[in-house]
Amino acid sequence: MSNQEPLRDALRHRAEQLGDTHPLNLDDIKGRARGIRRRRAAVSGLAATAVLAVAVPMGIAVTDGIGTDPENPPVAGPSATPSEEGPPPDTGVKDGVLTTDVDAESYAPAIPYLYDGEVTLPDGGTIPVEGEWDELVALGESGVVVADAGRQELQVVGPDGAVVATYPSTGQLAGSADGSLVAYATPEGRLAVLTETGDQQELPAVPDLQTPDPVGISGSESCDPEVDGGCVVYVTDAGEQPRGYSLTSKGIINPLADYRTLRDVSADGAVSGVVSVDDLGVEPGSCSEVRADAFDERPRWSTCDHTVDVFSPDSSLVVGLPAYLDGSGAGKLAILDASDGSVLGEWTNNAETQAFVASTAWDEDGTLLATVFQQGSWSLMRFSPDGGLSKVQDLAGGDDVSAPMVLSTQP
């Protein structure tokens, strides 16, 4: 029996369980088993004056900016994979305070990042990138996609820095698990996908989507409606009635549970999202849910203490942000157990630090990277599930609104 046959049988069984009324056929849901590239959560409209409170609200967007500060390079430091022998590595300060003022030094990221005019790749290679951008996703073996929400533009950049293609875009980027596809929204309200060659494939227009914003994409190599299998894009539509949806490359759309805003879809198919938003402090408040499957009738767990955000690469952990998000910086950050929502590590600012988080991205070893602003300057910090906090490097540039480094939306 080939390695593909058990997967095919399992998918066929799942399709039979769902029946003819389910919007996804066997070919459509194959892509879900390939995993969904986790997007990076971030905060837009950062304001230092908004973070004096212990739990400052935040919204999502991606940080601005752009290569390694020669005066403050990332520490080569310990391997991302702990040694099987000897004591566990020191993961840093464990006092629960959100701050950049720590002595513990960390190691360089194992994900791409954009800083000082170039993208640094996990293997140490770099790609020169001109201009300022607020989002980054790797595409194919060595190319990247950069985007800027303000200019409503994205570029596909080759390994030599040459611009392969430019397209108008809105919202955020979402990459597939194998790096062969990147989904985005057009200013006309259509969903489109970039392939490894930089070519664009538009998904069929559907009247239910007014202002779609992609969160995840499953599939590989193509979203052509004529191709068997195709892809599935998971989106939040911020229209008159905000809601989460899945849309196949064949134009089949389905609303997802009670989600007002989708936050992420994990590699194993779990979904996180916001189900209620409260502007006035009325119970139950702003609450989030995690479901084991996008189409499950009941949540795996729910919480009104955090906005449940992006899953770790192995799907075992998930980011916790302040429960109410209003577009300001996050004065609180947590790492939660994705199976039950229990808090593993949590960091909160105070009147002394006044620190806030701009963007987050999971590193390959299951630690969480974040750009953090404190008292006039930015730093790249590493948060560990055991509560440890360490500094990767101080960052030059930026202001109290935009961080100077952009972390890749995919691990």
- Inter-residue contact 149 to 61 (CB < 8 Å): yes
- β-strands 301-303, 287-291 pairing: antiparallel
Reported as a pLDDT band with limits 50, 70 and 90, residue 247 is: very high
Please give the Cα distance from 298 to 142 (Å, whole number): 40
pLDDT in tens, 384-397: 999 999 999 999 98
Provide the pLDDT for residue 49: 34
Is 90 exceeded by the pLDDT of residue 26?
A: no
Provide the pLDDT for residue 316: 96
Residues 169-207 as b/e (b if ≥16 CB within 10 A, e otherwise) read: bbbbbbbbbebbbbbbbbeeeebbbbbbebeebebeebe
For the full predicted model, state whether its pTM sits above 0.95.
Answer: no
Q: Which residues pair with 193 in a beta bridge?
A: 183, 201
37-81+88-407 is classed in which CATH architecture?
Answer: 7 Propeller (2.130)
pLDDT in tens, 168-227: 999 899 998 888 999 999 999 999 999 988 889 999 988 888 899 999 998 888 888 887
Provide the pLDDT for residue 8: 41
CB atoms within 10 A of CB 352: 11
Sorted by sequence, the CB contacts under 8 Å of residue 41 that are 6+ apart come out as 60, 263, 264, 309, 310, 319, 321, 359, 360
Top pLDDT among 399 and 184 is at 184
Average pLDDT over residues 360-380: 96
Reported as a pLDDT band with limits 50, 70 and 90, residue 351 is: very high
* Residue ranges of domains in the chain: 37-81+88-407
Provide the pLDDT for residue 386: 95
Provide the pLDDT for residue 280: 64
pLDDT in tens, 288-347: 999 998 888 899 999 999 999 999 999 999 999 999 876 668 999 999 999 999 999 999
